[in-house]
Structure 1
Amino acid sequence: MSSARRTVQVRVPATSANLGPGFDTLGLALSIYDDLAVTALADGELEIEVSGSGADEIPRDESHLIVRVIRHVFASVGRAAPGLRIVAHNGVPHGRGLGSSGAAVSAGVLAAKGLLEGDVDLSENDLLRLATQLEGHPDNVAPALFGGLTIAWLDEQARPQHKKLLVHRGVAPVVFVPETTMSTSLARSLQPLQVPREDAVFNVSRSALLIAALTQSPELLLAATEDKLHQSYRAEAMPETDRLVRTLRGAGFAAVVSGAGPSVLVLADGPGRRLEAAELAGRVTDAPWEALMLAVDFKGGTVRDISVGAD
């Protein structure tokens, strides 16, 4: 089937990057989703419908991120992009440290893959490379595309690579989402360009331990989520987030800033423990936080052809 009038359905999970010590390297896919249907139209046509998080601020023209992503992918493989009809529902909270831009980029790349099917085959490496070009770093797009716990890095040729790992069934995530937002660029600007050697060694040890904790030994999660590279530098810009993280960690919960914040991720070692974390968070904070009891998404982003007559 040609791309003309083809409609593909895409689902992409939220992600939480860093996970404490794994700055710009570790990411976890979580069970909140952006859903969209993309139809190839005649050249020059563009129709966009958006609902859900951030819908009021999202443009409905050529500057829409998913439009730009799809066109970038088509151009990268030497194909002319068709006109587009996009119907999107954003389940991933925007500006809260849950990978909303990475989800949108990943969704656009997957939509392009679906529209190009039968003409150009995009491999996993192609998807990660294209998504990283557009997002700027692979730590959110890798789990959004592939699911689970991902380790992402750039090889010696600056090509993004990833390794997907399965998370121990005893790990029970809960995310506390505030009403306020945080700019990723602002959060990054608060970090120093250099850190003490002992802090770097500290984070290397905790990142290694975190892989073991998430895949084999959830009882080690509190120690494994300690960090000295980024969270303390950003604390002043997110005082309520810092307060919640400190309170939860003081009570024995593996709490970290989710991505650039201001959401807080708790990696509890069992469903009962995350209920205790939610009860504590409700008692100690002045600002309202929405507690999202989530699962680890193991599937990652999906795309399927839903055109009339498609298999």
Structure 2
Amino acid sequence: MSEKSLRVLITGAAGQIAYSLIPIVARGDVFGRDQPVTIVLLDIPPMAGVMNGVVMEIIDCAFPLVTDIVATTNEAEAFKNVDYAFLVGSMPRREGMERKDLLAANVKIFKSQGKALAAYANPDCKVLVVGNPANTNALICSKFAAPKIPPQNITAMTRLDQNRATAQVALKAKCPVREVKNVIIWGNHSSTQFPDISNATCCGKKLPFTGHDQSFISTIQKRGAAVIAARKLSSAMSAAKAAADHMHDWYHGTFDIVSMGVYSDGSHYGAPKDVIFSFPVTICSKTKQYKIVDGLALDDQAKQKLLITGQELEEERSEALAATLAD
């Protein structure tokens, strides 16, 4: 067993996603079955009581790898010496709320957390933003975490979309989901995202591809809304699993293509500069650094879809940055 305990922060700790995510992290499914972890939980003061109940449950689980539990409503305490951070907590969209209002509310949260990362976290801290709008929340967080935390270390979750798309491909192809590879999510974690199966393989063989299926694309784009309609609650279990998958691969590395929302410098696939854009990446196990996979063919329809989702991210960035000035 490793001597050093990783300090792992989970925000929105009293919420449903965190409730599903905490045991996955605590039992070693993310960082390894021989890697001790200190679980750090952060939520807003009104949720302190619920969060303390979560702590009681973590204690009662008697996880062998959990060396300590910290539960706090104070960002300085929560972000101190953090190695890995799951930023789950965000302001949800409420009925009648305009997108600009949602962005403005989240700017306050992620501006503050970006500053906390810069002030207190480990300089090599790896950050996954789960709370929506995840891509733009991650961008704002990176603006205020810099220069201590490089923008490459702050990512947004599109793994849930990848998992959804991969599962649908497996169902259609009648093959085990573990055998489906190279399903890619491009762009924003929103209704403009582009699930791309043109490079998908099953059991090592390329799947037949005759063109982008708008019905399939729409199914993935609207899957979250479909879960809410059926369950009357958001997709917490699958979101937690996707967050764990994302961080697991970032920590351990992967030769397979996975989708991550990462900082765009404007040099890949025509994506705009200075946004967090979902690309296909591979991750080196030794350096724990991801690399955008270049050279994949995009037809005209795919290029148009990347343009649309990129434009949405630019619009969100403009509104969010304006909100930072007003804040």
**TM value normalised by structure 2:** 0.25
What is the TM-score when the length of structure 1 is the normalising length? 0.26
More helix by share: 2
Structure with higher strand content = 1
